[in-house]
Every structure is written in C-alpha cells, then in structure tokens.
Chains A and B, each alone.
Chain A
Amino acid sequence: MDKFWNSLANLDRRWLFALTFLAISIPLLTGIVLPQKVTPMVENVFNAIDELPSGTKILMPLDYDPSAEGELQPMADAFIRHAAQKKHKLYFLTIWPTGVAMIQRQVATLKKEYPEYVYGEDYVNLGYRPGYEGVIKLITSDLPKLYGSDQQGTPVAKIPMMAGIDSIKQFPLIVNVSAGDPGLKQWVQYAATPFDSIEIVGGTTGVQASTLYPYIPNQMIGMIAGIKPAAEYEKLMFEKYPEIEKRPNSNMANVFMTSQEVAHFMLIAIIILGNVVMWQTGGRRDQS
C-alpha cells in the first residue's frame, strides 16, 4: 500500500495535464448545457441596464485583449445584445491597444444582429487613446479634447450622437468589460467615485474580481465576475428576450460552464487526493 501512495506522491504531472484536457474537452463535445441559478449581484447588473429608459446613452469601454477573450467575450456579447434590445445609444472606446479589435467584434455583432442600428446615430466607435488612466481623467472633464475623431477619423462634430457630449458625466451608465489594469478599478477610481452622477457596472475576470468587491455597492452597482455570472446573465437575457437564444453563439457562457463544472469537481478531487497522499506518506516525496 505504501508503494501505491508513494507512486501517487511522485505522479508525473503530465497525467494531470491529460486529465485536465479530458475534463475540458469531453463536455464541450457533448454540447450539454446545465441549468444556472441566478444570484442577486447578476440581477442588479441586469436591472441596471434593463431599467434605463430606451435610448439612454451608455458608455461601453472594452478594456481587454485576446488572452482574456475566453472569459470576457460571452459577457461582452451579452451586454451588447442587452443594450441593443433596449435600443440604448452605445459609445464604444478603449484604453487598451488590443481593445480596438475587441470593439470591432462587438460592432460586427451589432451590424449582423441589429441591422436597424445606424452608425453615428445609434452607436459610435471612438477607438483607442493611449495614456492609461490619464484618458479616464481627461474625459471626465473634456471628452472632445481627446476624442476629436472616431476610430474611422470622422470628426466627432460631424457625428450626430456626439452632439452636446462634453464629458462622460453626461452618461447615466458606464458598462465596462476589463481584464486588468488599467480597467474597471481605474474607471471606479477616476469616474465613478469622484462624480455621483456616474454609475458603473462591470464585467471582469475572476482574477481581478476579488479585489473589486469592496467597491460594491457604494462605488459600483455590481459586476459580472467570470464565466459563471456571465452564464447567469445569459439566462436572464433568454427569460426576458427569448428570441436571443436562437442566435448563434448567444449562449457561449452556458456552453462553457459545463466544462467549467467538470473541471471544478476534477480540481476538488485532485486537491483532496493530494492531501490524502500527503497524510499517507507523511509529506515524503522521492527527490530523484
């Protein structure tokens, strides 16, 4: 028996890699979708967008890159679809260089699924500006100074929906999707905290999420922290707007959650097994 525990203690990690691969791939191939239970935080974020009057101006900074796409793309898609269902006016911008491409994907989704949305009247892509949190600081007082033109180079003075926009204080809601710094934390620090008129909800990675909870609810209404809350958000969307469920890739978070479920239970089993091995072997490992 000792030999068994010792061999486990010296298990080649590639077996664990193979187990992880199987735990992720097999559920993806089956296509099974599990039911989700909606939590109060996700409901708050949903209501923050849903309860706004139709046609409200929403600022949508998309501050993430392809390395976080697997986790953030489903929630970004859900936010866009939700805002478009409510016919809100969408103002895209980003403070990450790679955010430009992420905005492009959302614009492509809008064009495809909401052809009635007109560029310049219903949505605008202001693009990227360098300067990290300096960008946020500047646009809280003078947005046209930094964003004199949109991503295409069209002067903002010629874009109908930019008429009268002097600063982001005029936006009732900011919906930020962010993967790190600068991101949701900086939007809370520089926009939501100093100015009571600015409300913010966010979508963020699980890595960053635990550091943002202290901002809720006084500085931030709520956030979608990772793929599970994103799946809950999709569920709320399907309940309120059933036609969205038929669209391609509209339930990506729910599809991913099945693999996530298996992976979590696999990890729990691995952790418990690791501890059992430790107790059985007294913490000894073959150093050779």
Chain B
Amino acid sequence: MKQSNVIWVVVMLLAGVYLSWRAVSYQAGAVYVAPKIVADADSGKSFTTWSKVPSVESSNPGVEISWPRTLGIWLSALFTLAIFSFLFGDNVVYKVAESIFVGSSAAYAMVVGFWSAFMGIFVAQLAPQFSQNTFMPGDDRTEPEWLMLIPLAMGIMFLWRLMPAGGWISRWPLAFFIAVFAGLRLVSHFEADFVVQIKSTILPLIVFAEDGAFDLKTSLWNSTMVLGTLCCLTYFFFSVEHTGVVGKISRVGIYLLMITFGVGFALTVMSRYSLLIGRMNFLLKDWLNLG
C-alpha cells in the first residue's frame, strides 16, 4: 500500500472516531421538531405537521428528534465534504456528488415551473373545473380561457425539437422567444443603460455652493466623472486609430478601467469568502455543534 494511501486511511479512521464521539456526546447534527395538529371539524380530517425547534428546547414536552432531518444534516455535511474533496484533485466521490447535483437541480426547476406556472396558470385557466376539484379548490373560475391554447400550441411545437423528425417546427416558438427577449432588452437597455446613464453623466463642471463660494470638492468630483467617462468610452471607440491625442486619452481610459476592475476584484473576493464562511458555519455549528 502506498504511503499516501496509508495516511488517508488513518485520517479517515480518526475522523470517523471523532465524528462518532461528537454524535453521541454532543448530539452533532441532531434536529428536533415539535408537532402541530391541524384539524377541520366539518370534514373530520386532521393531520400533523412538524416544525424545527432549537436544540435548547429539546427537553420540552412533545419535542422529539427527527431522524429524517438528522440524517439529512449528516448527508448535507458529507455532500459538502465530497465537493471540497475536489481541492485535493478530481475523484470519484466528487463526481458522484456533482452528478447528483446536476440531476436534482434540473428536476427542481422543472417541479417549480410545473406547479407554479403550468398547473397554477395554464391548467387553472384552461380546465378550471379540474383544477378546483384537485389542487386549487379555492379558485372560482367557471369558464376556460381559450386564448391559452395559443401558448399551449407553441409549447408543443417547442418540445417537438426532441422528436427524431419534424424538429424544425420548434423554430417558430423559438423565434417568438428570441424576439421577445430582443424586443424587451432593446428598449430596456437603451432607456436604463444608455439614455439615463448619459443623463447622469451630464453634470456641471464648475459648481458653486449655496453661499456663492466655489465648491472645489463637487467641481472636482463632477469633472472627474464626466472626463473620466469620456476617456473610458474613447478606449472602446475602435473606429479611430488610438494614436496621438486619441491614444493618450485612451491610455487614461485604460488606467481608469483598471481601477474599476480592482474595485470589482475586491468586492468579488468579499463575496466568495462569504460563501465559504457560510458553509464552514454550517459544518462547524449546525453539524458538529462546535463554537
């Protein structure tokens, strides 16, 4: 057996012993729930729901350990460690976890779309009686909305892409889809990211305070904003060669853009570390009950 493998086996054994000790002595990963009974006197039906309670309330009457949720916490921790194992190199455990992630995330989006939109809007409007008798009893629509047949037809054409023949028909709803995106974005970007941004850049270069005195700070700020934006825009203007005066202005633009990217990098660093802190918090506190 290779030395590195021996070391890994020893590490895993020690970790297993430690985790077992934490689980037994400190109820690591244990989740406690309290019951809530919902009853309807008219129909005579009732059912019990369970909600999570803090572990300090575990000795309260009615509160008990939830084995599915406790198992879930341990599974979450193992999945977390499986993904982190990629830091040591690609391995089977990581690939299995990644495969599960891909499958479950695709299905999750489909389920949400199915119940929220397909059933909640589509079926509810096309077949109101059926929806009222099953999943939307509170709805009081009586007449079907036949206009919904148009998006239904488009949807079927869209899915025909998966068929071995006749897939070209999916181009019609695809063209519709692309056109809506293009039409919406053309207007929104032009208004919010072009016109209003130019308007926000048109600032007075020489500013006087209310008492008539020259406001150096605001004047400098505005001048830098206006001239700086123009320098950066010059850098992106490729219809004129970047030589001479244009070249020098474009150079200033690059320097200003570097400051922009530096700010972006620092904010990104904070963002990424926050995500790691969140996961470490789960592992150390929610799972191992440390700290």
Contacts and interface: CB of A to CB of B under 8 A. Distances in A.
Interface of A: 14, 17, 20-21, 24-25, 28-31, 67-71, 73, 97-98, 100, 108, 127-130, 132-134, 137, 146, 148-149, 151, 153-155, 157-158, 186, 188-190, 193-194, 205-207, 209-211, 214-215, 218-219, 225-228, 248, 252, 255-256, 259-260, 263-264, 267
Q: SS class of chain A's interface: helix, strand, loop or mixed? A: helix
Interface string B186-213: 0011011100110110000000000000
B113 interface: yes
Given A29-B284, A155-B139, A214-B197, A263 B108 contact: no
A134 B180 contact: yes
Nearest to A215: B192
Contacts of A24: 273, 276-277, 280
9 contacts: A24-B276, A134-B180, A148-B124, A155-B140, A190-B184, A206-B269, A209-B267, A214-B197, A260-B273
Contacts of B124: 148-149
Contacts of A151: 116
B11 interface: no
Contact of A207 (B109, B125, B268): B268
B135 to A, nearest CB: 6
A253 to B, nearest CB: 9
Given A24-B280, A228-B270, A256-B281, A130 B116 contact: yes
A68 B275 contact: yes
A43 B246 CA distance: 41
B138 A154 contact: yes
A256 B277 contact: yes
A149 B188 contact: no
A-B complex: 8 closest residue pairs judged by Cβ atoms:
A70-B278, A206-B271, A206-B267, A71-B274, A97-B112, A193-B192, A210-B264, A189-B192
Given A148-B124, A225-B267, A17 B87 contact: yes
A149 B120 contact: yes
- Interface size, B (range): 35 or more
Given A29-B290, A128-B116, A149 B271 contact: no
Given A129-B116, A206-B269, A206-B274, 10 more contacts: A25-B284, A28-B280, A70-B279, A71-B274, A148-B120, A149-B124, A151-B116, A189-B188, A206-B271, A260-B277
Contacts of B121: 129, 146, 148
Nearest to A256: B277
A130 B277 contact: no
Interface string B155-188: 0000000000000000000000000110011001
B263 interface: yes
Interface in B38-53: 51
A190 B186 CA distance: 11
B267 A14 contact: no
Contacts of A214: 197, 200
A98 B108 contact: yes
A218 B197 CA distance: 9
Contacts of A264: 269-270, 273
Interface string B215-241: 000000000000000000000000000
Contacts, number: 158
A153 B274 contact: no
B284 A28 contact: yes
B69 to A, nearest CB: 14
Given A189-B189, A256-B277, A127 B116 contact: yes
Nearest to A31: B291
A263 B270 CA distance: 9
A234 to B, nearest CB: 14
Contact of A14 (B87, B196, B277): B87
Contacts of A227: 270-271, 274, 277
B116 to A, nearest CB: 5
A94 to B, nearest CB: 10
A236 to B, nearest CB: 19
Interface in B235-291: 260, 263-264, 267-281, 284-285, 290-291
A207 B136 CA distance: 40
A14 B120 contact: no
Nearest to B276: A24
A133 B188 contact: yes
Nearest to B136: A153
A225 B193 CA distance: 20
A226 B274 contact: yes
A31 B112 CA distance: 38
A71 B193 contact: no
B62 interface: no
